[in-house]
Amino acid sequence: MRSVARVGVVAVLLAVSLVWGVGLASAASRSLPGARSAGDSNPIPDVTGLSPAQALVGDLAFGITVIGSGFVPGATVLWNGESRDTGFIAPTMLTASIRASDVAEAGTAFISVLNPAPGGGQSLTARVFTIAYPAPAIDLLSPGTVWAGGPAFTLTVVGSAFTSASVVQWAGVDRPTVYISPERLDAQIDAADIAHAGAASVRVFTPTPGGGLSVALFMDVRDDSVPPVTTVNGLNGMWHRTAATFTLVATDVGLGVERTFYRIGQSGDYTIGTKVTVSAPKNHSNDGVHIVQFFSIDKVLNWEYPVKQVQVGIDTQPPLTAVAAAKVVQNGSLRPRYIITDPVSPRVEDAVLLITSAAGKTLQKCDLGRPPTRTWRTGGALLVTLPKGTYRMRVLAHDLAGNPQAGTMSGTLTVY
């Protein structure tokens, strides 16, 4: 009886061992990744990582790798719940194609995986994919310099990786910014920002995700200490026989010209303006040399000093000429004596001696140059080749204002 009992115990032990071994083998087979028997349900996948896990706003289409477990052929990568073209690599790895439109704007996307039926389903976990702004960079500022005390202006910032969320900072303070393109931003700079001379930092800040603060460029805010320069335009020569009108043109390297002043004469009040007229009445009352003084000031009250001046001559009276009588041997040398009188001009612009017949026909002439007025002069030697006889001499002249002589007293020339 005792031996039969022992045989029964052994049989029971063998049966238990067999059952235990089969259970262990079954458990071991279930623990292998992806191992399942025919007819098993697909598992619910798990997502543990992404590569890459970030892209920049505006990137082109690209691929990502999804890391996890429980992936099966036919699994689909979901981008914010929407399926993307998916490739099965292994139960622990999938690839997916991400569209350019998926990263057109900054933000985040959730990546999950959906296994097909039977069983399967969407992963209980999801990984965050970040669409980040690029880091901005500045290459150029326009304008590159401004004048202290100047008005508000638009600053153009040229660089790269700008976005619609980027902001221009002036000395660390945000300024109203208009996005033009990834290479250009326009910012409004207040007059108060450039009230004083110095170097102002200019940066571009792009917010998170990504983004950041660019390296600074410095705007030169210059002190305007240079006065304007005024010149005369339209005054053709010094002497005029009609009213002389000209323009004063002022230029300034800084903030610009505020006003131009002038006066005719060296005393009295100045007039504000740029158009100057020195009158020439027919009664000759304004004949003579007039000194016009002028200067300008700029917008920060730099004065042009010393005061500039220009001389304007008014001569409305024509000159008179006279020639002394003379005798000369035929084929001899004549040195005529003459005088040109003019109440204003100190000399004439041109003068010529004419020897004419009694009927007024010009027979010989001699250029007298530009002789002074109000004094008798002796002309250069002139070889007279005329036949013996009596002739007339006269001088024709124009004064510096262009007035032709009003009359001439001729002299007699006798050739013997």
Chain centre distance of CA 141:
9
Is there a contact between 375 and 338 (Cβ–Cβ < 8 Å)? no
pTM: 0.63
Q: What are phi and psi of 198, to 5 degrees?
A: 155, -165
Distances (CA, A) of 147 to 156, 192, 196, 197, 260: 16, 12, 9, 8, 21
Exposed/middle/buried for 148, CB within 10 Å: 0-12, 13-18, 19+? middle
CATH code given to domain 137-222? 2.60.40.10
Task: Check residue 352 and give left, alpha or beta (phi > 0: left; psi -120 to 50: alpha).
Answer: beta
Domain spans of the chain? 46-132, 137-222, 229-314, 320-415
Which contiguous run of DSSP H or E holds residue 24?
helix 2-31
Q: Which residue has the tokens 């000429």?
A: 321
The per-residue pLDDT for 407 is 85
Can 46-132 and 229-314 be said to share one CATH topology?
Answer: yes
The domain covering 46-132 belongs, at the CATH homologous superfamily level, to Immunoglobulins (2.60.40.10)
CATH code given to domain 320-415? 2.60.40.1930
Is there a contact between 133 and 101 (Cβ–Cβ < 8 Å)? no
- Whole-number Å distance between alpha carbons of 167 and 187: 8
- Residue ranges of the chain with per-residue pLDDT less than 50: 1-38
CATH ID of 229-314, from 3.40.1260.10, 3.40.50.2300, 2.60.40.10, 2.40.10.340? 2.60.40.10
